[in-house]
Structure 1
Amino acid sequence: MNKLAVGLALGFSTFILWVIYLANTGGSSVFFDITSMIPYGDKLGHFCLFGTLTFLFNLASRCKSFPIGQFRVYYGTAVVTVFVLAEEISQAFIPSRTFDIMDLSADALGILSFTYVTYLSCCWKHNLT
């Protein structure tokens, strides 16, 4: 089961890197066309892409976490958060991109929401065993 989660996480990461490459180079994609036709499609895309990536990374890391104060943080959540921050901030320095705090907010909401989904699924899994 974990090999499947790792494979899905790596495959989805590759897809996201490809989408970022297209956006950074001014390329076009059917995905960009679809999101432009949906109200707030760009923000919904950010929410879903990085939320799903968070969930897959958390599953791939077997829901392992580390303490920060009174809280436990999933490794997958931490990795995706650092990646998203670096990627969004880098847009301020790429001529074909613009930094958008609302994109970062949509990313954060996706990460937080799917971290909660991870929590629920890990608790459910542990209750079965």
Structure 2
Amino acid sequence: MQKLIAAVTICFALFLLWIIYLANTGQPSIFFDFVRRIPNGDKLGHVLLFGCLTLGAIITTSFRCFGLLSGRLKVYWGTAGVLVFVLVEEFTQQFFPSRTMDINDLIADAIGISLFTLLAFVMNTLRKRQQVNS
């Protein structure tokens, strides 16, 4: 199951890179047309796309964490990786005439990353309890 989730996560990340490429080069896409038809579709898309990528990355990295603040704060490697990716991607938008850097996109990304990290935490807690009870 781990390998399947990793494969799906990699394919999803490649899909996101393709969408970013289309946006950076100003090319049209059926996905962009679809998102424009939904109220707040762009922000909802940011929440869901980067949230799902975060969940997949966390599961793919087997819920591994590293410590911050002298180890008091545990951070999933998957969360950190997606966060760095999102920050770089949003920052580089200023170099493309077809893109605009938007703080609201970053906020939507952060909401998605946070919600799906919380979901991963709950999943991991339940998984650990199930292992103890088995």
Fold shared, TM-score > 0.5 on shorter chain? yes
The C-alpha deviation readout for 1:20-75, integer Å capped at 9, x for no partner, is 00000111111111110011000000000000000000000000000001210000
Taking the TM superposition and a 5 Å limit, the aligned residue runs for 1:1-129 are 1-69=1-69, 70-129=72-131
- Aligned letter for 1:24? N
Larger Rg: 2
- Unaligned runs of 5+ residues in structure 2 are none
Alignment partners' CA distance in 2, 1:64 and 1:39? 36
Task: State the superposition RMSD in angstroms.
Answer: 0.6
User: TM-score by structure 2 length?
Assistant: 0.94
- Aligned letter for 1:42? D
Q: Would you say how many aligned residue pairs link Structure 1 and Structure 2? A: 129
Alignment partners' CA distance in 2, 1:94 and 1:47? 23
Identity rate, percent: 47
- Aligned letter for 1:2? Q
- Aligned letter for 1:109? I
Q: CA deviation at 1:9?
A: 1.0
Structure 1 residue matching 2:75: 3-state secondary structure: strand
User: TM-score by structure 1 length?
Assistant: 0.98
Alignment partners' CA distance in 2, 1:5 and 1:73? 20
Alignment partners' CA distance in 1, 2:103 and 2:41? 16
- Aligned letter for 2:75? V
| 4+ residue segments displaced more than 4 Å | none
Q: CA deviation at 1:5?
A: 1.4
Alignment partners' CA distance in 1, 2:126 and 2:2? 17
